[in-house]
Structure 1
Amino acid sequence: MVFSSKKDWWLGGIIWIAMIPFFYIIIQSIFIEFSMILTIISLVFILFVGDMWFNTKYVIARRILEVRSGFLKKKKVFIDEIHTIRFTKNPIAAPALSLDRIEINYNQYDTIIISPRNSKRFIHEIIKINPKIKVNKTDTQVN
């Protein structure tokens, strides 16, 4: 089962506005003053951020939660090792494109923060696999 990341519009605005200089560099490099190095650096950056924006997702399959974000970021969490899930708005860097987030605690001290679009359904699917998981609800729950 695949869950896309929830995306905050304001975060998307910040990300894509920050990309304008890289698009400008590519256009300038191609049409005005050709600079292969600047063009390649800009293209790599745009592809990396674009892939992260469009392909951040959370896959539940065969008792494993796989978190995918960007070309290189792939994290596997065994669902049987998850012990608590809680809602959070923690802005720490994470494979989440929204501040409506879920903190997953697994193993003894490991944590990952994600932002599935339908968090209630996501949690329901995880708990179907491991009913021992405790869900800590707060007054800032996400939908």
Structure 2
Amino acid sequence: MAIVYKSKTDAWLLAVLVVAIAVSLFAAIATLSAGSPPVAAFIAVIGVGLPVWLLLSTRYTLEPHQLKVQSGPFKWHIKVADITSITPSSNPLSSPALSLDRLRIGYGSGRSLMISPCNKEQFIRDIEAARRGAA
């Protein structure tokens, strides 16, 4: 059975994305009225589509043997048995997380990924249970 965890979203990041969407819409409309539909479409797809896609799709799905991480067009598949550590983080580096209230997932040979599930404590309990089941 798969368990889906939505990403926690920081209000400041949501505000930044909403402003970016609004500016992109304005730019697309201005470009369209200037007579350049292909450029307007490009601006709308990138400036509106990508932020909306990230907001709506960033989630973490725990299956019995793997953790699937999705954020817009980006996807990761991490075997539960390969997870070596889960530690709190507020590192601002780019990651599939909509909050700085993050967990750093260490896996494999020195690899890591930062995520921000809404309920971090439950997520950690479920990962630990899956790791015991995978052993």
Give the TM-score, by structure 1 length: 0.85
Higher helix share: 2
AA in 2 matched with 1:92:
L
Aligned position for 2:16: 14
Q: 2:56 aligns with which of 54, 57, 64?
A: 54
Take 2:122 and 2:45, find their aligned partners in 1: how far apart are those partners?
35
Q: Compute the displacement of 1:59 (Å).
A: 0.4
Q: What is the 5 A alignment of 1:76-95?
A: 76-95=77-96
Q: Is residue 2:41 matched to residue 1:40?
A: yes
Take 1:38 and 1:111, find their aligned partners in 2: how far apart are those partners?
37
Relative to 1, partners in 2 of residues 1:68 and 1:116: Cα closer, same or farther, differing over 3 Å? same
AA in 1 matched with 2:69:
V
User: Match of 1:7, SS?
Assistant: coil
RMSD (Å), alpha carbons: 1.5
Structure 1 gap ranges (5+): 133-143
User: Match of 1:19, SS?
Assistant: helix
Give the TM-score, by structure 2 length: 0.89
Mapped contact 1:25–1:38 kept (Cα < 8 A): no
Aligned position for 1:122: 123
Q: Compute the displacement of 1:108 (Å).
A: 1.8
Q: Is residue 2:104 matched to residue 1:103?
A: yes
Take 1:34 and 1:102, find their aligned partners in 2: how far apart are those partners?
47
Aligned length: 130
Structure 2 gap ranges (5+): none
